[in-house]
Structure 1
Amino acid sequence: MDQHQLYQQYQPAIYQYIFFLVQNKELAEDLTQETFYKCFKNIETFRQDAEINTWLHRIARNLAYDYFRRKKLIQFIPFAKVYEGMTEDLPAQWVEHNEQMKELFNAMAKLKFAYREVLILRKIKGLSVKETSELLGYSETKVKNNTARAIEALRKNWKGGDLHEK
């Protein structure tokens, strides 16, 4: 697969993942571009012991972490602040224009980062326990425990919806 095909195939998913982490459109775009720059620059170091998708998500995650470390940001911008006024620019497949979705985003914004991240990867991105474990560098047990705890915390924070664990 050439660079253009790789970018075309994985860019939307990487952008969406980064956007959920940083909750800022311009920053997500910049970090997405940087993710692919690092990928193309270091493609010869890819050992293929993981999926390319997992490798790209790991690069994206590390870049987001580095950004927040550099900026010494502890709190993330609440989802609802980003959500309002920007819906026309967000990918249509994951944005719904209703109050229940806003409430869900607000509830997710209250979760600690480790819980929010595992929910994004497992329930929104649909990664398996193993893929999430590889991406985060956690044991599969820790991923399962964080997922269960995150869902429970989200249930407590989210008044508007019925949350079922799959």
Structure 2
Amino acid sequence: MYCENIRIIIDDTMYSFEEIVELYTPKLFNMAYYYVQHKQDAEDIVQETFFKLFRHIEQYNIEYKFSSWLYQITKHISYDYLRVRKNRALKNGTLYYQDPKYDNIMDNIWRNEITPESQYIVKEADTAIKNAIQTLPEKYKNAVSLRYVKDLTLTEISDQMKVPMATIKTQAFRGREIIRRKLAKSM
């Protein structure tokens, strides 16, 4: 196999492609899982990371840490995945709320296998999130709505609200935490 012939030198040590995969898979999986919160999708992201590594190894700049470069690839693939998932959910007119007890239902939705049960759960979660946003104090409501519903960047929100970006980041985080706690109590 072609992969067996590839050797990568990291910190003056030569590794085969297989050794790189073995060494970094657990770390990359944990990172991807942190972003997507779904085992199968995290495994797919790790596989895609190694595929991109294999295809673009010549772009690696030895002045930088190899692991940092690999983590950046994983992060970007995870963000791309989340963007696609979010766009799919928004296209269906839903907001997404992650809860482990709904994993199978959410799996069906992500894979476009919508059942009456999953439609009901998504509609209920969507309503709960929208209601929770409406109960937030005004400064948090604006930051959360612009950040997570309208998907504006922190810079865009800062410019629009004429408030420092650090303030927006704090307000969006606190608002999201308030919503998370409210939803956790009601579930």
Which interval holds the TM-score relative to the shorter structure? Answer: 0.3 to 0.5
TM-score (norm 2): 0.42
Give the number of the structure whose residues are more often strand, by fraction: 2
Q: Which has the higher helix share?
A: 2
Q: TM-score, normalised by structure 1?
A: 0.47
Highest relative contact order (Cα 8 Å, sep 6+), 1 or 2? 1
